[in-house]
Structure 1
């Protein structure tokens, strides 16, 4: 069972409210004011805040995390690992008072989705990492993830895991293939298709389906997409807008096709091989959830060492085999392929963990909305979704 299956965001409306003040100039922290005295040399520990179900665990003892335990043993650094991030907006609300008031958060390393990471970067709430201490990141980070528009050069962020927002469908029950986003709008899917309710999760795929270049999409691209959705909602073509409950609908057969996350579908396919996942010919979004060092973290060098450790191919392979998301370290594929474990060899050939060359050509990371665009577009989206 995946993390996204169990946990869902608070709701797009709540998210918009939480982010409404993100562009307030008073909240911005200048580069010179972001660092605190680093105690890493004398205090061999760090605090790592992550999402639940997002790391490998020992099958016989869920309290043990093999890769993290190995890091502690090799480095001598003690890691306090917390699974406290259940939602991007909720966690933003938890740490923002400290960050905007130039106070410590009590955390040395956090993981949030890139669309949220862009706000931290824009506000100056996270520190630039020292890549001279991270040779594995420099060597092994997937080229597709190296140049997000919100963090040129990935100076402040490093992907923990990645994923694809594409289309899932029941091939047997639908009786045909889906190759284009427009295939969702055919008559045989009326009332049997769902889309994601979250704006940041949904908009890229839908604009790509209309031919937009999402790395530099425009307001016209957005409005073309929302006009299309209004017509589909009026016709009752779209059954509903969902969180992760699309998984239940797809499994039961109430829905035949839906917008979906690649990590979830790997889980579903284990029980139902008729469930297919497709990156449409027009493209789909490649996203990431990234590691960041918040301002005034007291163990920055220790945190940087942990980040680099997870970019060792053998460690990245172990993590990928456990969580089943798109691995940001392509070299991990060879590690799994050479394994004596049959299941690990199969994972190396799974395009939802290591996308094929053909699939990679159709993947893109959308530019984020500006602070000025977000409230306007969120309001328009929420009116369509019914939030």
Structure 2
């Protein structure tokens, strides 16, 4: 890449969000996946990830942790920043995978709340982890041990996570601490945005209604939908957004938003009056997961997973990307070199914060009727 922009500049341009981090994608839809299964390590790991989602030496433009992995294991990494968004990437890979072919990748990263990791598992298009090669899996934080889409973590390990809550601009409003306030406070009318992402906004609203987003029922879904529709009809909600709420919030054009924690980390440099919090009745957590696509080398990919689950390595990645690391001990390691970043609770949530966030029902994400009804609320 030439003239590489920083992650914060990318957010400022409204080009990508924390959960959705997007740039144009490129997929080699050829057969094979670096040699397939078996017990042998390959000489090369072919790794597809989102842009600006791994540590970079700004002078050399190299990835220090990838170089360290090669030095330690002898495995070269062909690293591709070719995942534009979950839906687009899935559309590219489903053809070859559906024909029983590989996609020339050993490792890909996709978001659990997008429904696609669960769909890949259901269709049998993923290789199982080679857990014997991942002793560091014991460093996985407890809150991520058993997600609804992969309860035993047979097919996935978290890469990074983020939280969904409420952000507000203190130049415009006081604290906005609940979804009920966001949707009903007359002082906020017409100054609120809500994420168009199904799991984020439906999940927060379910929590506000006293329902469990990890176990969606027709009744709880209908209640959440009605709550949001009412706020749309009343004019409380100005619009549904991706991360393009970022600049209006920073400038004070909107007062409050359903927002991703990582966006606020990035935007604080421009406006320290921005605040983010988990709503009183709870927030949502999403995770970008490392997955081994059909035909990929499970031993090689699993060896890399073990490497990045070393707290020292996880700390180096977290210090650059500013997402929530899933690795125990990373904060303590980072505190040795960057104590201020290590203190940031939006990057290293406290146990109390993690106890307040919830994952969304994987089966509900696959419900076409729910998706169609949500699209209707969005006006699509």
Length-normalised TM-score, structure 2? 0.89
SS in 1 for 2:152: helix
Give the total of aligned pairs: 353
Structure-2 change in CA distance of 1:370 and 1:209 (3 Å): closer
> 1:218 aligns to what?
217
SS in 2 for 1:215: coil
> 2:344 aligns to what?
350
The 8 Å contact of residues 292 and 301 in structure 2, kept in 1 or not, is answered as yes
Once the 2 structures are TM-superposed, how far is the Cα of residue 357 of structure 1 from its aligned partner?
2.5
Asked if 1:268 corresponds to 2:277, the answer is: no
The 8 Å contact of residues 195 and 201 in structure 2, kept in 1 or not, is answered as yes
Moved beyond 2 Å, runs of 4+: 1-9, 35-41
The 8 Å contact of residues 145 and 328 in structure 1, kept in 2 or not, is answered as yes
> 1:191 aligns to what?
190
Question: Where does the alignment leave 5 or more consecutive residues of structure 1 unmatched?
Answer: 12-34
Length-normalised TM-score, structure 1? 0.87
Once the 2 structures are TM-superposed, how far is the Cα of residue 60 of structure 1 from its aligned partner?
0.8
Asked if 1:86 corresponds to 2:84, the answer is: yes
Asked if 1:364 corresponds to 2:358, the answer is: yes
> 2:369 aligns to what?
376
The 8 Å contact of residues 8 and 86 in structure 1, kept in 2 or not, is answered as no
The 8 Å contact of residues 215 and 366 in structure 1, kept in 2 or not, is answered as yes
> 2:278 aligns to what?
279
SS in 1 for 2:371: helix
Structure-2 change in CA distance of 1:96 and 1:8 (3 Å): farther
The 8 Å contact of residues 8 and 87 in structure 1, kept in 2 or not, is answered as no
**For the residues of structure 2 that align with 1:8 and 1:144, how far apart are their CA atoms?**
23
Once the 2 structures are TM-superposed, how far is the Cα of residue 279 of structure 1 from its aligned partner?
0.4
Equivalent residue in structure 1 for 2:15, among 6, 27, 45: 6
> 1:161 aligns to what?
160
Structure-2 change in CA distance of 1:313 and 1:171 (3 Å): same
1:175-220 Cα deviation digits (max 9, x unpaired): x222222120211100000001121332211211111112212121
> 1:120 aligns to what?
120
Aligned pairs for 1:5-154 within 5 A: 5-7=14-16, 36-38=36-38, 40-41=40-41, 43-62=42-61, 64-115=62-113, 116-137=116-137, 139-154=138-153
Once the 2 structures are TM-superposed, how far is the Cα of residue 8 of structure 1 from its aligned partner?
6.3
Larger helix proportion of the pair: 1
1:298-350 Cα deviation digits (max 9, x unpaired): x32111111110000000000000000111013101111222xxxx2111111
**For the residues of structure 2 that align with 1:200 and 1:358, how far apart are their CA atoms?**
22
The 8 Å contact of residues 7 and 86 in structure 1, kept in 2 or not, is answered as no
Structure-2 change in CA distance of 1:55 and 1:122 (3 Å): same
The 8 Å contact of residues 107 and 291 in structure 2, kept in 1 or not, is answered as yes
**For the residues of structure 1 that align with 2:204 and 2:16, how far apart are their CA atoms?**
22
Once the 2 structures are TM-superposed, how far is the Cα of residue 285 of structure 1 from its aligned partner?
0.8
SS in 2 for 1:164: strand
Once the 2 structures are TM-superposed, how far is the Cα of residue 39 of structure 1 from its aligned partner?
7.7
